[in-house]
Structure 1
Amino acid sequence: MRKRLIVSAAAGALALLLTVPAAAAPGGPGAAGIGDTYYPYAGNGGYNVSHYDIRLKYQPATDQLEGTATILATTTQDLTRFNLDFVLGVQEVLVNGRTAAFASTGESELQITPARPLAKGSPVTVVVRYADKPGEVERGGYSAWLRTPDGGVAANEPESAAWWYPSNDHPTDKATFDVSVLVPDGTQAISNGILTGQSSRAGWTRYNWRQTKPQATYLATLAIGKFDIRTDTTPGGLPVVTAYSKDLGDNDGAARASVERTGELVDWLSTYFGAYPFDSIGGYVPNVPTGYALETQTQIFYSPAQFARGSNTSTVVHELAHQWYGDSVSVQRWSDIWLNEGFARYAQWLWSEHENEGTAQELADYIYSYYPADNAFWTVKPGDPGPDHQFAGAVYDRGAVAVQALRNAVGDEKFFRILKGWPTERRFGNASIPQFQAYAERISGKPLGELFNTWLFTDSKPALSSAGVPAAPAAGAAASALAPSAKAQPQEPKSWKKIQETNSIHDSRH
């Protein structure tokens, strides 16, 4: 979902950019944005968060959410004032145990003035007490809180945190999380990581979840409702938690037939991407009217619409692949989204190969032939699509063609070394497309600038002849092609329609 603070018109976006300070003066206020050109007010300047402790009470009947968030951070400059990203009603703010002044500014900024200035490099404890009905709070005509018949869900991209906890809401400031949620007996609360405890008293039940690995704020999720929760382990002992709304209707069987394969699919993906980076994995399917899926870290969100046409392991593969490409290694700026979606789509192509429903090369060929040169598909640059096209189909499909072009250019041995080595070397960090290109060049020993420019940064259909070697190599031959093969009207791979369902699902985030 596009950041609602950003107007879609280019002139409006430029005006907003000009109003956000690039850096705050020493001893002054922290910047109102972290510096992302797509979303100027995403995140904040002047500090880095290390941990969020979030204690909530939620009443599904009324949508009333009460919370206390304790944020542990370290200042990166002298601060007289700083911001958090938050949209709910605030009752009190404490900074290092002292009452702080606060005000809501803009559309989602909580501006905090501590009783005493904060020195650069000092630890800071911020406590925010709040209460509101998140389903009734809109900013720019948008709410990230998904109301359900028996509760509510927070799962969206690039923003959802502001509707349930205050944060430094940008992928470059990752932190660990404790989430404790009190709900009426008979209702469950699901979040990221491991369920460390559950207790009941006087008609209410508290669920305690812990995420011990660094996590971006938009990847934190909360689901409250009536769920059938299942626990298991992979053959290697990784905890698996899956959950299904008790009111999924006709989609229930297909949802379970897909999501219950999570453990198997994680183990399979590990053979391509390296050791799984987190301490648990799972997925949940709430009763929501939306159509998208989201790679919320270790506890993936799936809408029931994912399974309206039957089982859908391809989308499960896509979201699981994000645990490496997107969650463990996150974007440096939102313009680097290809590093998330191009590789998650390519994981679906690898699954298609595994299932004998079409090779990655056949899928690349089909996409190249499917879209004529005058189709708007080719005007979207996967390497810099802009905020209005960040989740367009071209970012996924043309983005995956770019990955196949890389495979053809460097050969399978070097390609799969890159595919596994990148998330291993960058584990729990952030990265940009230029950094990935440099890594691929280092591993392959080949210059790749032309390839990346052709498939990621050109706003027209690349001419295969311009790549120098238009055809993919024959089986067993040295791989040197920079593009898909030049077959005329290739046959539609069996996996094509199922993979395209993921396009429509992800595009619905806008």
Structure 2
Amino acid sequence: MRRGLTTLTSAVAACLLLAVPASAAGPAPGAAGVGDPYYPDAGNGGYDVAHYDLRLKYQPRTDRLDGTATLLATATRNLSRFNLDFLLDVDEVLVNGKKAAFARSGTHELEVTPATALAQGSPLTVVVRYGGTPSEKKIDGAAAWHRTADGAVVVDEPTSAPWWYPSNDHPSDKATYDISVAVPDGLQAISNGVLASRTSKLGWTRYNWRSAAPQATYLSTLAIGRFDITEGTTASGIPVVNAYGKGLGDNLAPARASLERTGEVVDWESSLFGPYPFAAAGGFVPDVPGYGAVETQTRPFYTPGMFENGAFMEVVVHETAHQWFGNSVSVRNWRDLWLSEGFATYAQWLWSEKEGEGTAQELADHAYSSTPADDPFWQVRPADPGAGQPFHNAVYRRGAMALQALRNRIGDRDFFAVLKRWQEERRYGNATVQDFVRLSERVSGKPLQRLFDAWLFTPSKPAPMPRAGGGGGASSLASQARAPEPRSWKKIEAAQSAHRWPSHRH
């Protein structure tokens, strides 16, 4: 009898244990990565950041950066410890007003142990005081912080934040930003968003930039130096701020001839994709070597080399399109990058169509016919290009072809309705390729998985894309050989092959 009672009691206890909710589990360390299939150590688990407040001071003469970062976050599980992605030397960490222990782990992991464990759902205020020489730091041999003749620039993809502030460094954790930077008088600090204020005191000028819309960490940027700055507005009143380094030489005029049309591009793309998602627009061209551009939020970065052959509107169209595709609607994981690069490339084709320099269909035909079936290009699947090559040119070029195939299949009305609905439903969020497939089927009422499988998921050259009446300046396959190749095509392809910025860790 006793034995039977013991067995019953044990069984009841086991059931009760199984019924305990996950939130009641004991505190445990947060993961050192979010589990991205391409970059497993990117980001961190156990918390979600809502806001970054960065108060920085930079001395270009010594490349010394000192700062205090305040992160407002929420614990997403019971935490005994959590990680931040960061490279510089840390002096002190506070968690909810109390000193926390901290230690280094790996190349860029900062492990923080609060004085008391953190309950799931509880608010989290993390203060990190730090300093160091960013240009001396590298991850896998690469650096995102670049010194210039009169300052520095920090920009890179897929990561740049660890060189200048501690963060949860993955696109799936977006946040708002206040970035305050003090620099020696006579220098300027350019960052994302709107310039909220500027003050001078004791030989230092402090610039306060605000980004009130969610922003992924890799889209944050900072440029310090001497710039010529222009200001304007779009037709809808969005402020446009462009900055040009003092040492651009012969590249200054073509750079200005391109960036000064940013407001025009914003207005045109708004007509295609829906309202511009942010409070500011523009771009900056610091005096740095290399050849490329990055879609840093509200203020894309361009190297002077992009304009060495004259004005280059296609790159402005591309990086501005990213403000919708990649920035407002961001990837869930890095393998979903087609949702960013394929769409920005297709925006270039739409611009060409608008300008009468070749329809999107003709450019798709040229891209298709000029690449033989046995070219390794076709072995790369844009929707899952592989951990070693997420920025492969196929993600851009074959990705844009996939959008033309979709446009032909469902017609212009539904195609552009899909693009606008995508922005409406996913604004400031994250998404996967399959999310876009499902939306396209829902809006068009047509089964589309086979089309997407052929163009995005199959490692071989698809059959020629189908034609449909009204589908983007449709042309016959017979016209492929004489389809015009735009002046900028080789330049765009070269930039993509170079991963757009020489330090990219792709």
Question: TM-score when scaled to structure 1?
Answer: 0.91
**Does the aligned pair in 2 maintain the 1:48–1:173 contact within 8 Å?**
yes
Shift of 1:318: 0.2
User: Residue in 1 aligned with 2:399?
Assistant: 399
- Matched AA of 1:238: I
1:249 alignment counterpart: 249
* Partner deviation per Cα, 1:251-282 (whole Å, 9 max, x = no partner): 11111100010111100100100000111111
1:35-63 deviation per Cα after TM superposition (whole angstroms, max 9, x unaligned)? 11100011111110000000000001110
Contact 2:362/2:480 (<8 A) preserved: no
8 Å contact 2:84–2:111 — kept in the other structure? yes
- The one-letter code matched in structure 2 to 1:190 is I
Alignment of 1:497 onto 2:497: no
Moved more, 47-56 or 378-387: 378-387
Q: Which residue of 2 aligns with 1:162?
A: 162
Counterpart amino acid of residue 64 in structure 1: R
- Tell me the amino acid that sits aligned with residue 336 of structure 2: D
Rounded to whole Å, the distance in 1 between the matches of 2:192 and 2:478 is 45
2:462 corresponding residue in structure 1: 462
Corresponding residue for residue 382 of structure 2: 382
Take 1:320 and 1:162, find their aligned partners in 2: how far apart are those partners?
25
Number of aligned positions between the proteins:
480
Amino acid at match of 1:73: A
Aligned ranges 1:168-179 → 2 under 5 Å: 168-179=168-179
C-alpha distance in 2 between matches for 1:274 and 1:143: 36
Alignment of 1:281-360 (within 5 A): 281-360=281-360
Q: Deviations over 1:105-155 (max 9, x none)?
A: 011100000011111110010000111000011222111111111111111
Q: In the TM superposition, what whole-angstrom CA distance separates every residue of 1:428-483 from its partner, at most 9, and x where no partner exists?
A: 0000001110000000000111111100011111133xxxxx54235x5x89x9x9
Aligned position for 1:103: 103
Aligned pairs (5 A) from 1:126-205: 126-205=126-205
**Structure 2 residue aligned with 1:436:** 436
Task: Tell me how far apart the structure 1 counterparts of residues 329 and 460 of structure 2 sit (CA, whole Å).
Answer: 29
Whether 1:415 aligns to 2:405 is: no
What is the Cα deviation at residue 502 of structure 1?
4.3
The Cα of 1:202 is off from its aligned counterpart by: 1.4
C-alpha contact 1:47 1:75 (8 A) present in aligned 2: yes
Q: Which runs of 5+ in 1 are unaligned?
A: 1-22, 465-469
Judge conservation of contact 1:368–1:484 (CA < 8 Å) in 2: no
Is contact 2:51–2:71 with CA below 8 Å preserved after alignment? yes
Alpha-carbon contact 1:192-1:299 (below 8 Å) kept: yes
Structure 1 position 501, deviation (Å): 4.7
CA distance in 2, matches of 1:443, 1:486: 32
The answer to whether the 8 A contact 1:300-1:319 is kept is yes
**Contact 1:471–1:485 at 8 Å: present in 2 too?**
no
Displacement of 1:486 in angstroms is 6.0
1:244 positional shift: 0.3
Secondary structure of 1:438's counterpart equals: helix
In the alignment, what sits opposite 1:5? none
Kept in 2: contact 1:26–1:77 (CA 8 A)? no
Partner of 1:209: 209
Q: Distance in 2 between matches of 1:267 and 1:41?
A: 39
Of residues 457, 467, 472, the one that matches 1:472 is 467
Tell me, in whole angstroms, the C-alpha distance in 2 between the residues paired with 1:444 and 1:156: 37
Structure 2 CA distance for partners of 1:378 and 1:490, relative to 1, 3 Å:
farther
Alignment match, 1:9: none
Q: Deviations over 1:331-382 (max 9, x none)?
A: 0011100000000000000000011111110011101111111111111110
Q: Which residue pairs with 2:76 in the alignment?
A: 76
- Give the conservation status (yes or no) of the 8 Å contact 2:408–2:466: no
| 1:388 CA displacement | 1.8
Match of 2:260 in 1: 260
Helix, strand or coil: the match of 1:189? strand
Secondary structure in structure 2 of the residue aligned to 1:57: strand
Secondary structure of the equivalent of 2:453? Answer: helix
Structure 2: 5+ residue stretches without partners: 1-22
Preserved contact between residue 294 and residue 500 of structure 2 (Cα < 8 Å): no
Q: Which amino acid aligns with 1:494?
A: P
Q: Distance in 1 between matches of 2:480 and 2:60?
A: 56
Q: What SS is found at the alignment partner of 1:415?
A: helix
Give the drift of 1:391. Answer: 1.1
CA distance in 2 between partners of 1:50 and 1:127 (Å): 14
Could you tell me how far apart the structure 2 residues matched to 1:452 and 1:238 are?
A: 36
Counterpart residue identity of residue 120, structure 2: K
Q: 1:411 to 1:24 in 2, by over 3 A?
A: farther
Secondary structure, in 3 states, of the residue corresponding to 1:240?
Answer: strand
User: 1: CA distance between counterparts of 2:134 and 2:187?
Assistant: 18
Name the aligned partner's letter for residue 154 of structure 2: A
Confirm or deny that 1:367 pairs with 2:373: no
Residue identity in the other structure for 1:78: N
Q: Any conservation in 1 of the 2:405–2:466 contact (CA below 8 Å)?
A: no
Instruction: Give the superposition deviation at 1:493.
Output: 2.7
Q: Aligned to 1:364, what secondary structure does the other structure show?
A: helix
**Counterpart code for 2:241:** V
- Give the distance between the partners of 1:159 and 1:485, measured in 2 at CA: 41
1:58 aligns with: 58
What is the DSSP-based 3-state SS (H/G/I as helix, E as strand, rest coil) of the residue aligned with 2:388? helix
- Matched-pair contact (CA < 8 Å) for 2:86–2:162: yes
Contact 1:74 1:121 in 2 (8 A): yes
TM-score by length of 2: 0.92
Q: Is the 8 A contact 1:24 1:30 kept in 2?
A: no
